[in-house]
Amino acid sequence: MIPAPQLPLSDVRIALGGPADFAGWRSAARRLLLDGVRPEDVAWEISEQAQETPSECRRQAGITVPRSFLERSETVICHADPARFGLLYRILWRLKREPFLLEIASDPDTRTFEAMDKAVRRDLHKMRAFVRFRRMVDEAGEHFVAWFEPDHFIVERNAPFFVRRFAGMRWAILTPHASARWDGTLLHLGPGADRADAPDADDAEALWKTYFRSVFNPARLKVKAMQAEMPKKYWRNLPEAALIPSMISTASEAESRMIARMPTTAPATHRKIQARHWPPDKIPDAGGGEDAATLAELGAAAAACRRCPLWENATQTVFGEGPQTAKWVFVGEQPGDQEDLAGRPFVGPAGKVFDAILEEAGIDRTSVYVTNAVKHFKFEPRGKRRIHSKPNAGEVRACRWWLDKELGLIRPDLVVALGATAVQSLLGKALPVTKLRGGTIEREDGLKVFVTIHPSFILRIVDPQDKAAERARFLADMRKVRALAA
């Protein structure tokens, strides 16, 4: 019987200058494609003598391919599989008729291409991770040498990374098929080397091994997870890997030792530390504020407020701000995102509008007291943002305790309720702001409450004309306020 030939004889033989000679492959492929040579008729080989020169005149021939194909081919060509050159040419060939070939994940060529791309990228990444330099000293000072065994032809492609990272030192990376050396100014690429060409020890390795042993938590042994990321084939060039077997075998013993060990009595220093740094009055407690005599005392007590659950998700209590002698008190709804972060009322977008209008109305912001009906920010998280949500009646009622105390200490001539929540808090029930707007209501205790909208309402209006009109109305309200207390 005559055995069938394993491979058909190829018509065209292409010799490339090296295992990852992308320029050579590119120029040959361009020529083959223009000549209409079918992929199955090309045989690719590597030869040191080969010299494919990029042919400029051919460039005008106008072969276009997706940019991602070229970029990824530069990676794929580093793969160790001898079939890579043929695969790349076959894909190039097919791209003429199937421009979306690389988007079709179910195509066998695309799958092989992707798998090779991934394998080389992983190899590049692992080389960046697992190269271990050893320090040597010569007449010019210290330099560093590493021995590494990559799976693919990646030294040349990876060398610039090491240059960018270790520009300030002299180093060399030796591998079986190629080497890279940086002298502090220039990168030299050279032939493969032997393990014996690299130093076999470094003083710092003892420290590194100490570190490796110390960061291991025996209670969390997950050997498979480790090996998935650091396969055994790399271990022989990793100084720390020699420790792994014994660390694994003693792990469960170390863990049970930790668990079995009885809690011990605290050392003597502990009591000294407690007495010195944590006297009982230094540990804060919630509540208080009943007998606060100043706004500052009241604000300090409010910082620990737990009267409703809103404190749980907010950063901090945002208390009122302004002099205790203020004639006017402005009450908003609740702090917003910015107020919550800064711990101060009216510093966000609505606060800016409010400040500007107050100034136009001739009211000195520093002479008034500004506060909110509710003193913690209520919100719904939405990804990386917080969406304001309206405080409910219970929260308003709970926080009214603080507002009453503030008003009791200040005894203002006039309180301005900004929006529905402030009205609800000051007047004890939900009332329509639009109807009461611009008017003053006298409470049973004689406190005068002027009603208007919340300045954030102006911000929410989209139409510029409506916005300007609303702003003007608010300004008119503020002028009225000024006249009332004058």
Partner 1 sequence: MAAVPIREKLAILADAAKYDASCASSGAQERNSLKSKGIGSTEGMGICHSYAPDGRCISLLKVLLTNFCIYDCAYCINRSSSNTRRARFTVDEVVRLTMAFYKRNYIEGLFLSSGIIRSPDDTMADIVEVARRLRVEERFAGYIHLKAIPECSPDLLAEAGRYADRLSVNVELPTDEGMRKLAPEKRPDGIRRSMAFLRRKIDEESEPSTRSEKRRTFVSGQSTQMIIGADATSDAAILERSANLYGSYRLRRVYYSAFSPIPDASHALPLRKPPLIREHRLYQADWLMRFYGFRQGEILAGVADGMLDLEIDPKLAWALRNRALFPADVNRADRELLLRVPGLGARTVTRILETRMHRRLRLADVARLCGSIAKVRPFIIAADWTPGALLDAERLRERVVAPCRQLVLL
Q: How far is the CB of 219 from partner 1 (least distance, A)?
A: 5
Which residue, 84, 150, 89, 86, is CA-closest to 114? 84
With CB under 8 A as the contact rule, the residue among 210, 324, 325, 389 that binds partner 1 is 210
Q: How far is the CB of 271 from partner 1 (least distance, A)?
A: 9
Residue 115, interface with partner 1 (CB under 8 A)? Answer: no
Residue 201, interface with partner 1 (CB under 8 A)? Answer: no
Q: How far is the CB of 303 from partner 1 (least distance, A)?
A: 7
Cβ-based nearer residue to partner 1, 67 or 429: 67
**Contact criterion met (CB below 8 Å) for 373 and 399:** yes
Q: How far is the CB of 167 from partner 1 (least distance, A)?
A: 4
Cα gap 324→313, rounded to integer Å: 30
Cβ-based nearer residue to partner 1, 251 or 356: 251
Instruction: Scan residues 437-476 and list those touching partner 1 (CB under 8 A).
Output: none
Cβ-based nearer residue to partner 1, 151 or 413: 151
Tell me which stretch binds partner 1 (CB under 8 A): 35-43, 50-58, 264-272, 348-356: 264-272
Tell me which stretch binds partner 1 (CB under 8 A): 9-17, 62-70, 201-209, 417-425: 201-209
Residue 106, interface with partner 1 (CB under 8 A)? Answer: yes
Residue 35, interface with partner 1 (CB under 8 A)? Answer: no
Instruction: Scan residues 219-258 and list those touching partner 1 (CB under 8 A).
Output: 219-226, 229-230, 238, 240, 244, 247-248, 251, 255, 258
Cβ-based nearer residue to partner 1, 23 or 238: 238
Cβ-based nearer residue to partner 1, 26 or 134: 134
User: How many chain residues bind partner 1 (CB under 8 A)?
Assistant: 89
Kindly write out the interface string for residues 353-392 of this chain, putting x where it contacts partner 1 by CB under 8 A and - elsewhere.
--------------------------x-xxxxxx------
List the beta strands (DSSP E) in 157-235: 170-174, 178-182, 187-191
Kindly write out the interface string for residues 151-180 of this chain, putting x where it contacts partner 1 by CB under 8 A and - elsewhere.
----------x-xxxxxxx-----------
Q: How far is the CB of 442 from partner 1 (least distance, A)?
A: 38
Tokens of 292: 């606060």
Q: How far is the CB of 137 from partner 1 (least distance, A)?
A: 13
Q: How far is the CB of 104 from partner 1 (least distance, A)?
A: 5
Cβ-based nearer residue to partner 1, 57 or 283: 283
Residue 96, interface with partner 1 (CB under 8 A)? Answer: no
**Contact criterion met (CB below 8 Å) for 209 and 243:** yes
Tokens of 431: 């009332």
Tokens of 478: 């503020």
Residue 130, interface with partner 1 (CB under 8 A)? Answer: yes
Cα gap 418→477, rounded to integer Å: 11
Helices (H) and strands (E) in the chain, counts: 19, 14
Residue 284, interface with partner 1 (CB under 8 A)? Answer: yes
Cβ-based nearer residue to partner 1, 170 or 471: 170
Cβ-based nearer residue to partner 1, 51 or 106: 106
Residue 206, interface with partner 1 (CB under 8 A)? Answer: yes
Which residue, 352, 364, 374, is CA-closest to 326? 364
Residue 62, interface with partner 1 (CB under 8 A)? Answer: no
Q: How far is the CB of 146 from partner 1 (least distance, A)?
A: 7
